[in-house]
Amino acid sequence: MTTYTLHREQFIPLPREFVFPFFADAGNLERITPPFLQFSILTPRPIDMRAGALIDYRIRLRGLPIRWRTLISTWQPPFRFVDEQVKGPYLLWRHEHTFEPAPGGTRCTDRVDYRIPGGPLAPILHRLIVRRDLERIFDYRARALADVFAQDRPADAVVKTSDPHEAHTPGPSAPAP
């Protein structure tokens, strides 16, 4: 059985201390997930993000309704966290998010290790459908994150979280974009 890996890196022109809280708020997944997935979080909010937290979602994958349960298996703010599928469409889904300081901001890295069902047809399904779907989803995510953390905004702009009562504002130590 083949384990596939998706690897993406994206630069965000803010310090890690302001970037990580956006990713740590599970509600923001709705902002960076493509509309065609009809993504919704089923777990009541606010969600206490920590190692051991379980989050339930509902998506539509190629029109089929799917429930997905994620376990936060590793939680090391503001450096990294790992979510792993407990229930969902994959045989394995392990998504590691890392946040590293970079000149003028933060390098955000996504590494997803996954296995798909399909037995002997899995490699064909991966090549024709799954890989393309994941590329499309992560391309959308990159564009959405670029919009959220737009480089042309003022250094003192607020980065909104999904909670309307909470926002993160870069302080004087934030580099000018």
Residue-range domain boundaries for the chain:
4-155
Classify domain 4-155 by CATH number: 3.30.530.20
The answer to whether the peptide bond before residue 65 is cis (omega within 30 degrees of 0) is no
Contact 147, 159 (CB under 8 A): no
Query: With bands split at pLDDT 50, 70 and 90, how would you rate the model's confidence at 63?
Result: confident
pLDDT at 151 over 80: no
Mean pLDDT over 15-21 rounds to 94
Q: Copy the structure tokens of residue 35.
A: 């509309």
The residue ranking higher by pLDDT, 159 or 38, is: 38
Residue range 86-103: mean pLDDT, rounded: 98
With a CB cutoff of 8 Å and minimum separation 6, the contacts of 147 are: none
How much is the average pLDDT of 60-66? 91
Question: 3-state SS of the chain: helix, strand, coil percent to 5?
Answer: 30, 35, 35
- 1: pLDDT confidence band, cut at 50, 70 and 90? confident
Long-range contacts: 146-152, Cβ < 8 Å, 24+?
A: 146/10, 148/22, 148/31, 148/32, 149/12, 149/13, 149/14, 149/19, 149/22, 151/13, 151/177, 152/177
Q: How confident is the model over 97-103, as a mean pLDDT?
A: 98
The pLDDT score that the predictor gives to residue 152 is 41
| Confidence bin at 62 (pLDDT 50/70/90) | confident
Q: What is the pLDDT of residue 121?
A: 97
163-166 CB contacts, 8 Å cutoff, 24+ apart: 163/25, 163/27, 163/45, 163/46, 166/25
